[in-house]
């Protein structure tokens, strides 16, 4: 079908912070974009098309901000796309950018995802009353806490499992210079001692609100070869799946869209035992308990066993399947970019460029994002070899 191979050849990130009052939106995006272009050894002149992703426009108060950003992100005179698929958007944006190359339409594509949450209050931007719809008025934590309670009841997971995830991710964040939260004293005990927000989700088990951007350059195989790119992250496969928010017998703890997406992806990239064959994973975990829940949903563990990976230390750096080596969404959460950060961090791992949080010898890594009420899923697998 003329499908061509694509690889990540450049990654750039801002330093994630609660408020970037020192830069405008264009300035913030350029920090990530300039670093990605430098990493790729390219300039704007090399780029064929630009794909922008971010979460709701109400977060910054600009309608379709890619329009006013066109000049500063190098999109003038080029095709410009704007993706928005709820919290999974960073992942979906990377997938759309990859498909521009895989389709054979372009061979060097810049993609960038961002959020400048400090421009507004995300919780209220998400709480506009909608006629004939039951308001949640509890933010994302209040929405997801019942799913976590259901998970604990079903699986019998020990109650400190979430705290183990949170302590691990916050410790991993100390090895990532871009991470937002840097709390060296975080331990399982300190997490368990933090305030309960939405039972059983405590303050320290919750993602922060961050400002930041993440960019990647994705190139076609012949560009990788002709430019002699030293360490490309080959895109082995990607998938998006969506399901409605509510339908009878919908399993919100272990949603079918996520299970179907993972099954499709493993089959597509020739993985039969993900736990054995994937070296590390960046998974979208905005509340600590979602690590064991997604381990099951993605097929790394049997249903009911996800917490055992966490409890055994398998998901820690040095474990069998390190998860969220960068500190994850729990340590940095510029919403629209959070999915792309997962995808980009997976690429950094197989390129051997993750610095202090590098997993030694990582050959194959997964990037994962989800959004809505656990309805929208985007995932990819990248490797340090062509598939």
Give the residues lining the site for another protein (CB under 8 A): 1-3, 24-25, 55-65, 67-71, 75-86, 92, 95-96, 99-100, 102-105, 125-126, 128, 130-132, 239-248, 250, 255-257, 260-261, 372, 375-376
257 in Cβ contact with 376 (< 8 Å):
yes
CA 304 to chain centroid, in Å, comes to 24
Tell the smallest beta-carbon distance from residue 297 to another protein (Å): 12
Compute the residue count for the chain.
Answer: 387
Residues 372, 250: Cα–Cα separation, whole Å? 14
Q: Which residue has the tokens 């194959």?
A: 364
Could you say which DSSP state residue 320 is in?
S
Q: Name the β-bridge partners of 234.
A: 7, 383
Query: Among the residues of the chain, which ranges form H helices?
Result: 25-40, 66-69, 89-102, 122-125, 139-155, 161-173, 188-193, 221-226, 256-269, 274-277, 290-297, 306-312, 328-331, 335-351
Which of 34, 54, 53, 52 lies closest to 44, judged by CA?
34
Least distance between another protein and beta carbon 244 (Å): 5
| Residue 204 beta carbon to another protein: minimum distance, rounded to whole angstroms | 27
Q: For another protein, give the closer residue by CB, 111 or 375.
A: 375
Minimum CB–partner distance for residue 58 and another protein (Å): 5
- Judged by beta carbon, residue 216 or residue 261, the one nearer another protein is 261
CA-to-CA distance for 175 and 228, rounded, in angstroms?
Answer: 30
Residue 58 or 150 with smaller CB distance to another protein: 58
Q: How far is the CB of 386 from another protein (least distance, A)?
A: 17
CA proximity to 51, closest of 7, 117, 115, 112: 112
CB of 334 to another protein, least distance (A): 16
Identity of the residue, 66 or 205, whose beta carbon is nearer to another protein in the bound complex: 66
Distant-in-sequence, close-in-space partners of 132: CB < 8 Å, separation ≥ 6 = none
Give 96 or 164: the residue with its C-beta nearer to another protein.
96
Residue 46 or 57: the one with the smaller Cβ distance to another protein is 57
To another protein, the closest distance from the beta carbon of 36 in angstroms equals 19
B/e letters for 311-327, b = 16+ CB within 10 Å, e = fewer, are: beebbbbebebbbbbbb
- Cα-based angle 308, 309, 312 (whole degrees, multiple of 5): 80
DSSP state of 21: T
Report in angstroms how near the CB of residue 316 gets to another protein at its nearest.
Answer: 31
Specify the residue, 99 or 210, whose C-beta has the smaller distance to another protein. 99
29 versus 152: smaller Cβ distance to another protein: 29
Decide whether 63 or 159 has the Cβ nearer to another protein.
63
Is 91 within 8 Å of 379 (Cβ atoms)? yes
Rounded to the nearest whole angstrom, what is the least distance from the CB of residue 52 to another protein in the complex?
9
Q: What are phi and psi of 345, to 5 degrees?
A: -65, -35
Supply the DSSP symbol for 206: B
């Amino acid at each position: 079908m003329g499908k061509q191979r694509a690889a990540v050849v450049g990654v750039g990130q801002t330093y994630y912070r609660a408020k970037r009052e020192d830069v405008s939106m264009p300035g913030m995006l350029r920090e990530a974009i300039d670093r990605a272009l430098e990493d790729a050894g390219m300039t704007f002149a090399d780029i064929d098309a630009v794909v922008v992703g971010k979460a709701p426009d109400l977060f910054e108060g600009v309608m379709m901000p890619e329009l006013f950003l066109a000049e500063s992100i190098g999109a003038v005179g080029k095709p410009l796309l704007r993706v928005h698929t709820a919290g999974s958007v960073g992942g979906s944006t990377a997938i759309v950018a990859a498909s521009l190359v895989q389709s054979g339409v372009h061979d060097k594509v810049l993609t960038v995802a961002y959020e400048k949450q400090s421009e507004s209050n995300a919780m209220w931007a998400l709480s506009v009353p909608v006629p004939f719809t039951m308001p949640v008025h509890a933010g994302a934590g209040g929405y997801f806490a019942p799913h976590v309670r259901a998970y604990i009841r079903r699986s019998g997971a020990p109650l400190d499992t979430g705290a183990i995830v949170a302590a691990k991710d916050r410790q991993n964040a100390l090895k990532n210079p871009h991470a937002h939260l840097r709390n060296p004293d975080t331990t399982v005990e300190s997490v368990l001692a933090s305030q309960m927000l939405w039972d059983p989700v405590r303050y320290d088990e919750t993602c922060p609100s961050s400002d930041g951007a993440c960019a990647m350059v994705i190139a076609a195989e012949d560009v990788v070869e002709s430019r002699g790119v030293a360490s490309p992250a080959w895109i082995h496969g990607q998938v998006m799946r969506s399901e409605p928010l509510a339908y009878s017998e919908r399993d919100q703890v272990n949603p079918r869209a996520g299970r179907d997406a993972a099954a499709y992806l493993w089959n597509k990239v020739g993985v039969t035992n993900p736990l054995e064959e994937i070296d590390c994973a960046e998974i979208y975990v905005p509340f600590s308990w979602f690590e064991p829940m997604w381990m099951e949903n993605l097929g790394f563990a049997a249903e009911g066993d996800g917490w055992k990976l966490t409890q055994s230390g398998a998901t820690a750096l040095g474990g069998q399947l390190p998860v969220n080596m960068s500190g994850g969404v729990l340590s940095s959460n510029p919403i629209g970019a959070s999915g792309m950060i997962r995808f980009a961090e997976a690429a950094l791992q197989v390129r051997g460029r993750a610095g202090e949080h590098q997993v030694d010898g990582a050959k194959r890594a997964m990037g994962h994002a989800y959004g809505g009420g656990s309805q929208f899923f985007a995932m990819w697998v990248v490797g340090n070899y062509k598939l």
